[in-house]
Structure 1
């Protein structure tokens, strides 16, 4: 999978005039896949249900952008998210009534399974970074069975890099999904070789895990802000206020050089192409987007003809 995520933060984002431009930009990197992230919300981490808000991509806009992506020759993964207000972490979701929460969750995820089936979406994630509930294996197997009743394509779950070993339902899915935000360096660096050395023990561990589970591993997310220190905390939007596009580019190159060609590795979907106009809280020069930066050139070199 040569992929890039185009997330949404508002119900009409995917109908934005920028949508076609963003999709063409993604395709021009050599990407063959794009991931979309419709998001439902809950007000508190202990709530027993989730719901749409004005920040949830409308079904119509999602259907239309899937169609546009397919027209451009891009395959699609839909990776629905559940979020909390502000900067609260979805990994902290721990509902008071787990049975009620999973009933609500099945309604949520089968809704997108139907949409994925209707639009010819090529891959679906059944969940993303829900570490507070991902240990409830029997409930997840029930969710997965329900999804398969609605959608016939390959399924994954996007586990955070420090969560994936605690997942016990990988064999019910088609791919192991990992959001690959491993810290690679104690100090900022622009040296791809140094970063590749840091990946080596992680790669060895993942290869063994893929073999033990008899499943390939997909990096459902990986990304780096273009800030000094991005390689020390890839999961952070605010490592520093100092632009460091060379560090971001080095991290892109090291990941691709380290994993491309490994038979057990199913590819990567980079986080993320861009914020929508006027919606980004992080200035573009500091954000995760590779667009217009040396990291985009790395993608073109690695993925181009």
Structure 2
């Protein structure tokens, strides 16, 4: 057996162990057409990721005195996973080399918070990001020299793969929403091979909801990752039933795709601001200036009602728990965080928090 095939086998075994412990795994082929038996659903329900992202915006965020409080708050929702997002930046979409800045979480702080999370009984996914200045979209990255960019990217991503291995991080993401380069299948296969040389755990890629069908290297990964920001309504609504109806055709499409790829689907991100109209554009931080916590809560409920228990669905990591003190540009009452809002009560109910 080739070394990379052996690593895939080891990763698949690790995935199975995580599922048995309430983690997130591929679980082999998705054999149902979308429904499953009651027994299958009961088993799947306990084997999906219940996660929340805690992003960083500055090098010392993960060292913040607020870190323990945030992690305890995440665990109190019934979450069993937390995702961390160290971020490098490039100045222009055509640049060939991302780099650290003062907004990049330090390695020391990342190691520290992974240890804190493990100490609280939370599993960890590390999901490194590449970003651009201001409001520019990372999906627009199209380097002028792609070979040079991928060389730099492998250096970036294997750095974090080493850190994930050293900290016994349970799962790793090899890229996030890089639609401008994610069509370079051979280059990404090389990225995945490089990561597997450094890290033995389960791997995914976080494709945007309008990108995942354009990815042709899922076979090299253990999970299909989707950032699930599908618009669900043409106008604001806080009716969960209406939102569940909107999810049905998307769910059917995803079930078929999971079967075709022989992989389970993880929502590597999903989230809604607590603003009126959040369900019309879940990817937007600035839908309106009118608070709408009921609309946010309805969206949380509809997603969990629609997907929980589907054998092919590997769970969700919500975006996001909170901004760090004094760092948030969006007022808490309008932000993605569910903390202290009706959406948090939905999580506690659905995830069985004590």
TM-score by length of 1: 1.00
Residue number in structure 1 paired with 2:68: 20
Residue number in structure 1 paired with 2:236: 188
Structure 1 stretches lacking a partner, 5+ long: none
Structure 1 position 223 matched with structure 2 position 271: yes
Match of 2:226 among 157, 174, 178: 178
Match of 1:93 among 110, 118, 141: 141
Match of 1:207 among 236, 241, 255: 255
Structure 1 position 78 matched with structure 2 position 132: no
Residue number in structure 1 paired with 2:305: 257
Match of 1:106 among 138, 142, 154: 154
Aligned partners of 2:97 and 2:65: how far apart in 1? 33
Structure 1 position 302 matched with structure 2 position 302: no
Aligned partners of 1:8 and 1:157: how far apart in 2? 19
Find the residue that maps to 1:30 and give its secondary structure. coil
Superposition deviation, residue 36 in structure 1: 0.1
Superposition deviation, residue 273 in structure 1: 0.1
After superposition, the C-alpha distances for 1:240-275 in whole angstroms (9 at most, x for unaligned) are 000000000000000000000000000000000000
Find the residue that maps to 1:235 and give its secondary structure. coil
Aligned partners of 2:69 and 2:240: how far apart in 1? 30
Aligned pairs (5 A) from 1:26-175? 26-175=74-223
Aligned partners of 1:98 and 1:215: how far apart in 2? 28
The list of structure 1 runs, each at least 4 consecutive aligned residues, that deviate by more than 6 angstroms after superposition, is none
Residue correspondences, number? 305
Aligned partners of 2:155 and 2:71: how far apart in 1? 29
TM-score by length of 2: 0.86
Find the residue that maps to 1:77 and give its secondary structure. strand
Find the residue that maps to 1:113 and give its secondary structure. helix
Find the residue that maps to 1:221 and give its secondary structure. strand
After superposition, the C-alpha distances for 1:22-78 in whole angstroms (9 at most, x for unaligned) are 000000000000000000000000001110000000000000000000000000000
Find the residue that maps to 1:178 and give its secondary structure. strand
Match of 1:236 among 267, 274, 284: 284
Structure 1 position 289 matched with structure 2 position 354: no
After superposition, the C-alpha distances for 1:268-298 in whole angstroms (9 at most, x for unaligned) are 0000000000000000000000000000000
Superposition deviation, residue 304 in structure 1: 1.4
Structure 1 position 198 matched with structure 2 position 246: yes
Aligned-residue CA RMSD in angstroms? 0.4
